Amino acid sequence: MSEHVRSTQGRVLRWTLWGLPLILAVITFFGWQKWADERAVSSLAAGKQYLLERRDEMAEAAFDRYLSRFPDDADAILLWAQAVISGKSRTPEQAATIAIQRLQTIPDAVKQGAEARMREGRLALLVLKQPDLAEKKLTRSLELDATPVDAHYLMWKLYDLTERFQYAEPFFWSTLERTPKDLRSVRLADWYVSQFSPNSGNAELDRRLGFLAEGQYNSDDVVLARLAAFHENEPKAISTTIARAAFLIHLRDREAAEELLTEVSKDAEAPQNVFFLATWIDLLLDLGKLDEARSWFDRWEAPKVGFLYHRTAGRILQIVDRDDRGAVTQLNMALEVWPGPVDWSILHFRAQSEARLGQRDAAAKSRARAKEIELLMELDAQQTLRRSLLDLNRRENLGVMAEFYRQLNRPGEAAAWEQLQADLP
């Protein structure tokens, strides 16, 4: 054989010796990949099935297997988080913590980003009892995609649970818009109870959060325990501190509230926090510290809009500046924003400035309107409403609710209840 032949044979042999394993390796690799993919896919399917069957630990393991193969699959992470939370092998707090850690790996930019942030928010609020974290997550979720209803509803409830009823209204409306027609009566009832009977409105969530035992009625003690827990869980979050202080003011423990709010006042974010500014200035006025109240009002860096701003501005102008015309203007603006239309104290404030301005008739009208609203809050009137909520399939009950809101000059709610009436078969 010629050298050439030998050389060719040698190359073939070398290729065979080296190439074949390589080819085999490649084939094996791709085969393994395919197998792994198939196994992962099969795990995903199994996981989903386990979830349906409420075999949560097995579902978690299955999703784990899948995610070890496809760690960036956002849908799978969402499922995994669901399995983790549903599982019984960890405490709820442990489960929520690791679920949030993994949900955080889903970037904002992917289409599941909004859902992930919403779930993080829900877990933070309802399991970890960290409303400040929850608020950040839910806000981000809404920024990414405001279409789904969940984040809207959770924001409404978050504000209710943290004494910020004034902020809830837009989230009620956005929730209602996204609620199927057949459930809207429930949402409207929920809205009524949450605003006019906040303890009752929060009772179910307080039970879920572990602050209220089954069969027990909600009370101020429960609310205080909830707010204290929020504060202790997020001691550096000023929103939880303010919420606790606001409720202490409601309980008339101004001393404890002042201590908490004094700490918050040292926070650089304080002048941007509307809830703090309004609560703190109100307390300072109560305590006769008018100069300090004025000074904090001057430091108001938050947007100068909304119920709390206009209410606070009205009070500062009335009590400190004795600028009654300015006070009336601001209080009128507060009356335009929820809960202004039903907050009869604003009308009483306005009446005082009107009286000082010599506007006797205007003052009388303000006080008369305040009385009308107050009468709508009488226990008898409210019990009639609550009885109506017991059967939302009765046309007359829906009419009672619509009439209540008409008397409050709340055409939106009145129309929503009327629509329910119209939709009844």
Note the residues at the interface with other proteins (CB under 8 A).
163, 165-166, 195-200, 220, 246-247, 249-254, 285-290, 319-320, 339, 342-345, 347-349, 351-352, 355-356, 360, 363-364, 367-368, 370-371, 374, 377-379, 381-383
Say if CB 316 and CB 297 are below 8 A apart: yes
In angstroms, the CA 359 to CA 40 distance is 77
Q: Shortest approach of other proteins to residue 336 CB, angstroms?
A: 16
In angstroms, the CA 192 to CA 199 distance is 12
> Which residue, 28 or 383, has its beta carbon nearer to other proteins?
383
Q: Shortest approach of other proteins to residue 404 CB, angstroms?
A: 12
> Which residue, 153 or 247, has its beta carbon nearer to other proteins?
247
Amino acid sitting at position 102 = R
For residue 308, the tally of other CB atoms under 10 A from its CB is 21
> Which residue, 82 or 162, has its beta carbon nearer to other proteins?
162
Q: Shortest approach of other proteins to residue 320 CB, angstroms?
A: 8
Handedness of CA 369, 370, 373, 374 (dihedral sign): negative
In angstroms, the CA 29 to CA 22 distance is 10
Q: Shortest approach of other proteins to residue 139 CB, angstroms?
A: 23
CA Rg, the chain, in Å? 30
> Which residue, 95 or 261, has its beta carbon nearer to other proteins?
261
Name the token pair of 134: 């929850």
Q: Shortest approach of other proteins to residue 392 CB, angstroms?
A: 20
Q: At what angle do helices 395-407 and 184-196 cross, to 10 degrees?
A: 40
Q: What angle do CA 256, 262, 263 make, to 5 degrees?
A: 100
Q: Shortest approach of other proteins to residue 368 CB, angstroms?
A: 8
Say if CB 63 and CB 79 are below 8 A apart: yes
Amino acid sitting at position 264 = V
In angstroms, the CA 243 to CA 275 distance is 8
> Which residue, 93 or 220, has its beta carbon nearer to other proteins?
220
> Which residue, 171 or 349, has its beta carbon nearer to other proteins?
349
Q: Shortest approach of other proteins to residue 256 CB, angstroms?
A: 12
> Which residue, 149 or 264, has its beta carbon nearer to other proteins?
264
